[in-house]
Chain A
Amino acid sequence: EDQVTQSPEALRLQEGESSSLNCSYTVSGLRGLFWYRQDPGKGPEFLFTLYSAGEEKEKERLKATLTKKESFLHITAPKPEDSATYLCAVHPHNQGGKLIFGQGTELSVKP
């Protein structure tokens, strides 16, 4: 069964304290892995898509990496405005447009 597990469930950081969020996945065949950011009361906002092991993508203080079993979202020198829930989703082969989401990591960055 296709599955996505994110850890930790919640993460509290001080401003400037770098860390990583983990997304482990089990899927019959991976078409793509997506990272989204969700602020309270809003819909998820697209961040990155990764397609193959070894691929990396960066955006401001965020860098996403992908291996055959997991993805990491590295946050370098975070700021309070980076506080949000970060969602990981996999797009399996042979399932059309279906995305399977993890439960998310709630990140809080204190000044």
Chain B
Amino acid sequence: DAGVIQSPRHEVTEMGQEVTLRCKPISGHNSLFWYRQTMMRGLELLIYFNNNVPIDDSGMPEDRFSAKMPNASFSTLKIQPSEPRDSAVYFCASSLRTVDTEAFFGQGTRLTVV
């Protein structure tokens, strides 16, 4: 398996624009996580899905952020409108189950909002 695949690797956008980040989890994994990493706050969980259903979105910073998982092999994280403070590295991770199993991370998307 190629691991968790994220696209794009880098995204530069202007403030106010819509940004969509994409993730393909490892085949057979039932749980998918979206994290954000910044120097100030470290790695933070935004939202996670189990069997394509959102379970906990309490980490989503505000209504400008939304995430979907239409099927077991694809998820998106959308920011609309984007703001400079959204600049960060966004990671997608997947695991066999939500609990007690290690998560495998993608390479991340580095987002810069100017």
Is B truly associated with A?
Answer: yes
Chain A residues lying within 8 Å of B105, measured Cβ to Cβ, are 36, 43-45
Question: Known contacts A103-B42, A104-B42; is A97 also within 8 Å of B31 by CB?
Answer: yes
The 0/1 profile, CB within 8 Å of B marked 1, for residues 81-101 of chain A is 000000101010001111111
* In the complex with contacts A31-B99, A49-B102, A97-B98, A43-B107 CB distance below 8 A: yes
Contact A98 B56, beta carbon cutoff 8 Å: yes
Interface SS, B side: strand
- A44 nearest CB neighbor, chain B only: B105
Q: Say which residue of A42, A45, A91, A96 sits within 8 Å of B56 (CB atoms).
A: A96
Query: Which residues in A have some Cβ–Cβ distance to B below 8 Å?
Result: 31-32, 34, 36, 41-46, 49, 87, 89, 91, 95-104
Using Cβ atoms and an 8 Å threshold, which residues of chain A touch B107?
A: 41-43
Q: Inside 8 A of B42's CB, which chain A residues have their CB?
A: 101-104
User: With the chains together, A98 CA to B60 CA distance in Å?
Assistant: 13
- Which positions in B face A, CB cutoff 8 Å? 4, 31, 33, 42-45, 48, 50, 55-56, 91, 93, 95, 98-100, 102-108
